[in-house]
Amino acid sequence: MRIARDDLSHPAVIALLDYHLAQALENSPPGAVFALDHNGLRAPDVTVWSAWEGETLLALGAMKELDAAHGELKSMRTAPDQLRRGAGGMMLGYLIAEARARGYARLSLETGSNAAFAAARAMYERAGFETCGPFAGYSDTGFSRYYTLGLG
């Protein structure tokens, strides 16, 4: 598997991002979807990576710089036909290493609290993320679950 920065131009990447947004909207109550759209992922403070096996897209992940010491994971998604192969965990490990290389002291994320997000929450918890309160302007929606990982 190779992981590389992505410019969001490949049709498979666009399709997976569209799927990610559709699933977020379908599985979250109104006002509780914080997934970035294509334009949001092109912001200067956001970097996107894609994981590939040959010509097959396995997973996506993004990181938003909140400040010089704090990053936020965004748009973590494994392709539906690639689930249970470890691609999401490998992407997460890559992004944690990237956050450390950037000198971040902390990496945080927001995800859903219902069953649709259970596998994601389990992956973050296995990686050492701990629950925390809302950060970076988020508010308590009653639906979102917030996690953070100290990188020190």
pLDDT by residue (tens digit) across 88-114? 999 999 999 999 999 999 999 999 999
- The confidence score (pLDDT) of residue 46 equals 99
What band does 143 get if pLDDT is binned at 50, 70 and 90?
A: very high
More confident residue, 141 or 105: 105
CATH topology of domain 2-150: Aminopeptidase (3.40.630)
Burial (CB < 10 A; 0-12, 13-18, 19+), residue 66, is: middle
Print the SS3 string covering 4-30: EECCCCCHHHHHHHHHHHHHHHHHCCC
Give residue limits of the domains in the chain.
2-150
Angle ∠(51,99,12) on CA atoms, nearest 5: 20
Residue 31 binned pLDDT confidence (cut-offs 50, 70, 90): confident
Per-residue pLDDT for 152 more than 90?
no
Q: What is the pLDDT of residue 126?
A: 98
Rg (CA), the chain: 14
- Distance between CA 2 and CA 5 in Å, rounded? 10
